């Protein structure tokens, strides 16, 4: 079904574009929101990404739904990074002052960690940490790719990832969540 939708979009069918948007908008909005914490700005990023996708869909070669979503996701990530750069949020890789900030949304001590709570914690990371963490741990970029995208060194990327992980772990420990390794020690 998605292949036909892509083919119709390639022919400029507005109804097909709307259906494609409706099919992927929620998931891709959440991707945008991981980078751009402000919801109106995340919506703006999403709309810009879909405009780029529809302009470039002629060059897209459909293989399967996963490939389509990956292509759209990459466009959203690139748009989010452009938005952060344009609004002077990047590079912001000296956020050590923010390391003591306690996030607004934290997991409850007795509750299991679920995806929504992890998502909320990631969104609370300082921008530099959050961006590198998302690109590396969630999107699967290498440190070299992150360095090129963000115009930083690979070592800065590695450092930001390490600091993001440490901060997340600290928040989790402060809120009663212990990793399996700490429990078994």
Per-residue pLDDT at 108: 41
Predicted TM-score (pTM) of the model is 0.76
CATH 1.10.10.10 domain span(s) along the chain: 96-184
Please tell me the CATH code under which domain 96-184 is placed.
Answer: 1.10.10.10
Q: Does residue 1 carry a pLDDT above 90?
A: no
Q: Does residue 105 carry a pLDDT above 60?
A: no
Q: Does residue 24 carry a pLDDT above 50?
A: yes
Instruction: Decide: residue 157, CB within 10 A, 0-12 exposed, 13-18 middle, 19+ buried.
Output: buried
CATH 1.10.1740.10 domain span(s) along the chain: 2-86
pLDDT by residue (tens digit) across 63-92? Answer: 999 999 999 999 999 999 999 888 865 555
> For the domain with range 2-86, which CATH number is right: 3.40.50.970, 3.40.50.2000, 2.40.10.10, 1.10.1740.10?
1.10.1740.10
pLDDT by residue (tens digit) across 110-137? Answer: 445 667 778 888 888 998 899 999 999 9
Confidence of residue 178 (pLDDT cuts 50, 70, 90): low
CA pair distance 148, 128, nearest whole angstrom: 15
Per-residue pLDDT at 115: 75
Length in residues, the chain: 185
What does each C-alpha distance from 81 to 85, 89, 91 come to in angstroms?
Answer: 6, 9, 10
């Amino acid at each position: 079904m998605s292949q036909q939708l892509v083919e119709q979009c390639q022919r400029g069918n507005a109804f097909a574009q709307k259906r494609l948007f409706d099919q992927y908008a929620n998931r891709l909005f959440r991707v945008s929101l991981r980078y751009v914490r402000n919801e109106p700005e995340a919506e703006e990023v999403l709309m810009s990404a879909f405009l780029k996708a529809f302009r470039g869909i002629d060059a897209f070669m459909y293989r399967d739904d996963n490939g389509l979503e990956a292509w759209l996701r990459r466009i959203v990530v690139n748009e989010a990074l452009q938005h952060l750069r344009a609004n002077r949020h990047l590079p912001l890789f000296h956020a050590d002052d923010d390391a003591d900030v306690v996030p607004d949304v934290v997991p409850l001590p007795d509750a299991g960690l679920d995806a929504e709570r992890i998502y909320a914690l990631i969104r609370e990371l300082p921008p530099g940490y959050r961006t590198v963490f998302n690109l590396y741990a969630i999107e699967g970029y290498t440190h070299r790719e992150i360095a090129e995208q963000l115009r930083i060194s690979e070592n800065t990327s590695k450092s930001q990832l390490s600091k993001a992980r440490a901060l997340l772990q600290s928040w989790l420990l402060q809120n009663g969540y212990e990793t399996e390794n700490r429990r078994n020690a």
